[in-house]
Amino acid sequence: MAAPENLLGRETSPYLLQHAGNPVHWRPWGRAALDEAKQTNKPIMVSIGYAACHWCHVMAHESFEDPDTAALMNSLFVNIKIDREERPDIDHIYMSALHALGEPGGWPLTMFTTPDGTPFWGGTYFPPEPRWGRPSFRQVLQGVANAFNTGAEAVTQNTQALADHLASEAAVSAGDAPGPALLDQVAEAYLRMTDPDQGGLRGAPKFPNPPIYRFLWQNAFRGGDRAAQDALHLMLERMSQGGIYDHLGGGYARYSTDAIWLVPHFEKMLYDNAQLLELLALAQAHRPNPLYAQRATETVGWMLRDMTAQRVDGNAAFAASEDADSEGEEGRFYVWTDAEVDALLGAASAAFKQAYDVTPGGNWEGHTILRRVTPPGSAEAEAALARARDVLFQTRDKRIRPGWDDKVLADWNGLAIAALARASVVFKQPAWLDRARQAFDFILTQMAASHGGVAHAWRLGRVTAPGLIEDQAAMARAALALHEATGDPAPLTIAVRLADAARDAFGDAAGGFYATAADAADVPLTRPRTAADNATPSGNGMMAEVLARLYHLTGDPDFRLRAVGVLRAFAGQPDQMTGMPTLLAAADLLEEATTVVVAGNTADAIALMRTASSSADPAIVVLRTADPGTLPLDHPAHGKPAGPDGAAAYVCRRSVCGLPISDPLLLAQALHTRR
């Protein structure tokens, strides 16, 4: 049995290390902690959060740092602390249990389980004293422990009910693959939820929901739905001028607490910015806007400057997040006062304050969150504002920075790599593609897994969490993005390897994939299995996209069969597919993709490839080949000539290829719509 002490100091997760000095006898999640609970017959108190979580910090200061509360926890429970970003599979199990109990989700997640990890009751944040109609955390601890130790009927009933619920959630529910009618039905439902004035979904708090908007965007190209396209443009424009955007340092915060994108929850996450960068690129390809180009450049600048993780052998991937808090206050690093701006900018202050909503009273708790409230001015006026922003940025850079979670997560990096690959072509920034390759190589070399795929988390030279289906899918998707942006065949080979490794280690024998590998030894109850998206796309949704894209790139019918298998594995309950926009987008990609085969090795061929790769429709697949005669016999472009000038593009839809196109402008016109 482990010693009566806090064991988190042995970990590498910045979130776990934040709690390494607590008087609580924390254990990291794992078989050793579960065995200890069984040996002592104590219930387990599982606390789940992440380094950038504001309310996690609050509960830590109020309860986990309090010696009396810690003594109570130590006497009554085996206490396990989990970084949800390191173990999203365990977080998913307990968050699903919390929802089944009728409780709203969120972090910190507080879950009480039997010694084998089966949940029976939980909540989120609990205050140190009774308030807001909630019991104190100490009252909760005593009540839960008493219920467990006396064999209360509610504990027994909840344990069985939640175990049954989690098993049913992971069960196969097969049906017919989603068709156009269902896709349009879901798109219409999403459009009814959109905010026609501020963009995004109605109400507060306001999240960007990239998987939803990427599905809406892609689906619009199939039916020519301008409203769905306008919905994305509106959201990007409002967000990019609002307080949710960091106008000095670049990058978007996780969400706004209001309905107008003004007051952010100040944490900045890699996954949000990766997905928003991809959306900016798609929107720019459709309707060029200097605002999109500026925000993409600034956001990538933030990624390169502030989010580059530890280098190994010259390569580096991207860090996970920046905290909302600094010096114990949420947003302190980012906000300004009227007097500060006047003192720093002098004569330039008035114009800047008018443009960025700086007033004596502030727009948030006596301070100002910068947001752009005036339309673009002359080139001279915009240059002056840029100089003013730089002055404030240099001053802000001397402040105490928010906490930085520099662990490397394979799935979030996969999203970033794919976004950089697309954005590099659209915004004509080849250096971004080089940075994407560097991160890609880092994940493959430093985080390789024994099953042929990749691990999930890495920090300080150590892999700290096993790979999940999201990691395999996101990195395979990133490989395909690199292949299509460059024509390099090596990433295509890697994508095939990752897809095959996922089938072998994560396949559920019914077409879909479990979240965890077959050899996962510390997952309680049942292996999670879902295609529902959250703030990030689901592993099953991304894997369906990967398999569909591999089918169009290779012509291999096995990839089509595997893609259909994933789609069918989650289609048994159509009413739940509204929560699976990435899977629905994959269904569209499989049946409606436009494959652009670029033949030849000349500079003209490269120009055609770049034109195809910078198209606005995500369901365009770009295949570069020196000689179409080398394509598989059943590929629709097999044997097509490269053309008299050594370069030609063939636009192929539904297994039929059109006449060769040698002019990039004509190719762009052919790809503007699917009709």
Q: Which residues contact 270 (CB under 8 A, 6 or more apart)?
A: 303, 307, 318, 319, 320, 321, 409, 412, 413, 415, 416
Average pLDDT value for residue range 78-88: 96
DSSP letters, 422-466, are HHHHHTT-HHHHHHHHHHHHHHHHHSB-TTSSB-SEEETTEEEE-
pLDDT of residue 171: 79
Cα 154 from Cα 139, distance rounded (Å): 17
Q: Which residues contact 493 (CB under 8 A, 6 or more apart)?
A: none
The total of structural domains in the chain comes to: 4
* Residue 376 φ then ψ, to 5°: -55, 140
With respect to residue 329, please indicate whether it lies within any of the assigned structural domains. no
Average pLDDT value for residue range 310-328: 94
Q: Do 414 and 540 share a structural domain?
A: yes
Share of the chain above pLDDT 90, in %: 82
Q: Do 360 and 317 share a structural domain?
A: no
Average pLDDT value for residue range 363-379: 97
Q: Do 577 and 429 share a structural domain?
A: yes
pLDDT of residue 643: 65
Average pLDDT value for residue range 479-497: 97
Q: What pTM does this model have?
A: 0.94
Q: Do 268 and 350 share a structural domain?
A: no
Q: Which amino acid is at 310?
A: Q
With respect to residue 99, please indicate whether it lies within any of the assigned structural domains. yes
pLDDT of residue 645: 66
With respect to residue 641, please indicate whether it lies within any of the assigned structural domains. yes
Q: Which amino acid is at 560?
A: R
Average pLDDT value for residue range 651-655: 90
Among residues 647, 658, 643, which one has the least CA distance to residue 607? 647
With respect to residue 113, please indicate whether it lies within any of the assigned structural domains. yes
Say if strands 78-83 and 44-49 run parallel, antiparallel, or are unpaired: parallel
pLDDT of residue 523: 87
Q: Do 208 and 83 share a structural domain?
A: no
With contact defined as beta carbons under 8 Å apart, do 580 and 541 qualify?
Answer: yes
* Of 558, 592, 626, the domain-final residue: 592
Q: Do 469 and 385 share a structural domain?
A: no
With contact defined as beta carbons under 8 Å apart, do 88 and 468 qualify?
Answer: yes
pLDDT of residue 476: 98
User: What length does the chain have?
Assistant: 675
pLDDT of residue 440: 98
Please report which helix (H) or strand (E) contains residue 651, including its range. strand 647-653
- Check residue 331 and give left, alpha or beta (phi > 0: left; psi -120 to 50: alpha): left
- Mean pLDDT value across the chain: 94
pLDDT, tens digit, 9 for 90 and up, residues 231-274: 999 999 999 999 999 999 999 999 999 999 999 999 999 999 99
Q: Do 42 and 131 share a structural domain?
A: yes
Average pLDDT value for residue range 193-219: 97
Average pLDDT value for residue range 6-23: 96
Residue entry with tokens 């190994």: 312
pLDDT of residue 164: 83
In eight-state DSSP terms, residue 64 is I
Q: Return the minimum-mean-pLDDT range out of 153-157, 341-345, 471-475.
A: 153-157
Average pLDDT value for residue range 407-414: 98
Cα 576 from Cα 589, distance rounded (Å): 20
Q: Do 283 and 210 share a structural domain?
A: yes
With respect to residue 282, please indicate whether it lies within any of the assigned structural domains. yes
* Of 396, 424, 448, the domain-final residue: 396
Q: Which residue has the higher pLDDT, 163 or 34?
A: 34
Residue entry with tokens 């839960």: 144
Confidence of residue 216 (pLDDT cuts 50, 70, 90): very high
Average pLDDT value for residue range 166-176: 82
Say if strands 594-600 and 620-625 run parallel, antiparallel, or are unpaired: parallel
Q: Do 528 and 450 share a structural domain?
A: yes
Q: What percent of the residues of the chain are helix, what percent strand, and what percent coil, each to the nearest 5?
A: 50, 15, 35
With contact defined as beta carbons under 8 Å apart, do 343 and 328 qualify?
Answer: no
pLDDT of residue 79: 97
Q: Do 426 and 277 share a structural domain?
A: yes
| Cβ atoms within 10 Å, residue 237 | 16
pLDDT of residue 1: 59
Cα 435 from Cα 421, distance rounded (Å): 9
Q: Do 448 and 299 share a structural domain?
A: yes
The residue range of the domain holding 578 is 180-324+404-592
pLDDT of residue 154: 80
Q: Which residue has the higher pLDDT, 78 or 675?
A: 78
Tokens of 539: 């592993």
Q: Do 422 and 295 share a structural domain?
A: yes
With respect to residue 3, please indicate whether it lies within any of the assigned structural domains. no
With respect to residue 514, please indicate whether it lies within any of the assigned structural domains. yes
Cα 503 from Cα 482, distance rounded (Å): 22
At residue 80, the 3 state secondary structure works out as strand
Confidence of residue 225 (pLDDT cuts 50, 70, 90): confident
In eight-state DSSP terms, residue 258 is S
* Of 366, 396, 426, the domain-final residue: 396
Among residues 235, 178, 218, 231, which one has the least CA distance to residue 531? 178
Average pLDDT value for residue range 126-151: 88
Helix axes 410-426, 469-486, angle to 10 degrees: 20
pLDDT, tens digit, 9 for 90 and up, residues 631-646: 888 788 888 887 666 7
Q: Return the minimum-mean-pLDDT range out of 91-105, 397-411, 501-515, 639-653.
A: 639-653
With respect to residue 80, please indicate whether it lies within any of the assigned structural domains. yes
Average pLDDT value for residue range 601-609: 91
- 424: domain CATH number is 1.50.10.10
Average pLDDT value for residue range 43-65: 94
pLDDT, tens digit, 9 for 90 and up, residues 424-462: 999 999 999 999 999 999 999 999 999 999 999 999 999
Average pLDDT value for residue range 109-119: 93
Average pLDDT value for residue range 154-161: 84
Q: Which amino acid is at 161?
A: A
Among residues 129, 419, 139, which one has the least CA distance to residue 272? 419
Cα 254 from Cα 232, distance rounded (Å): 17
